[in-house]
Amino acid sequence: MRTWRVGTFSMGASLVFLGLFLFFSKFLGLDLVQVMTAWWPLLLVVLGIEILVYLFLSRQEKPVLKYDFLSIFFVGVIGTAGIVFAILSTTGIMGKVEEVIAREERSFELPAFSYQIDDSIKRVVVRTVGHQMTVESTEEKEVSMFGTYRVQTAKKAKLLESADDVVSANQKGDTLYLNMKSLPNDIGLFNGYGETAATLLVPKHVKLEVIGSDNSLTLKPRALENDWNIESVSSIVVDVAEKSNLKVDAIGAQEVRGKEGDWNVAKEKADDGTDNGRKNAVYQSGEGKYHITIANAYEISLNTNQ
């Protein structure tokens, strides 16, 4: 006669119930976390029922419980996994993990920004935060910006709802200050990845200063009628018309690129007279009335095919 050991039936029933949960989850749209969180308490119910049935059916006056420790260990492992899932789900960690697993790269349009310029504003100062940006002069009397951004996220909705999420604008005296904002990080401790490609239009008669943060920048001065000052960018491309009235000064650049004869290059010297690896370069078109000064850029490329 076979001996009934408590745990054997529980393991079999547990596998049956788990299989049924996983099977029906396909039709109910449940994921593994939901299944494990909701299913594990049944293990305790099944094991308790098995003990009660064993005691009820036992014909001994003082029945002694005999356990199948391997089966109980197996049931315990499954139950522990369910408890861990439940705890992580309660603390919110599991939700974050699910977001990271489900996230994918998505592209969205930046909320459009515009700021009307009157005669009281003589200068615009732009501080970037790593955005890839194109700056272009315009005939319009407003500063405006548009573009796209790309992020890794599990959400299909836009992360940026308004222009205030992209840039803050403050006018102080004759100067308009524009401070670019970083993309939001919606996945907490798990770092996301985001890129922005923006185009900034600035009235051609206004002086411009751009303070970079080792980002990439493209300048399209077109028919510029004032001076631009750029500093602390990693790489910069300057597109100029061959018949423009423009002078470009590159100060302390590591690399200067362009067609042969475009740049007048001189190497910088350190305090001891040795070559420090940096270059000062000048490009001039026409009389060079308007200046673009670029300081502390790693690479400067000049494109005169406009």
Helix runs in the chain, H state only: 8-28, 32-39, 41-57, 69-91, 93-102
pLDDT at residue 37, as a whole number: 61
pLDDT recorded at residue 1: 41
Nearest to 249 by CA among 302, 212, 174, 204: 302
- Cα-based angle 256, 258, 261 (whole degrees, multiple of 5): 105
Token pair belonging to 74: 């197996």
Q: Identify the pLDDT of residue 215.
A: 86
pLDDT value at residue 7: 61
Measured CA distances, 224 to 190, 201, 243, 292, 294 (Å)? 44, 12, 12, 10, 16
pLDDT score of 279: 85
pTM of the prediction?
0.66
| Low-confidence spans in the chain with pLDDT less than 50 | 1, 187-191
pLDDT of residue 186: 52
State the pLDDT at residue 125. Answer: 96
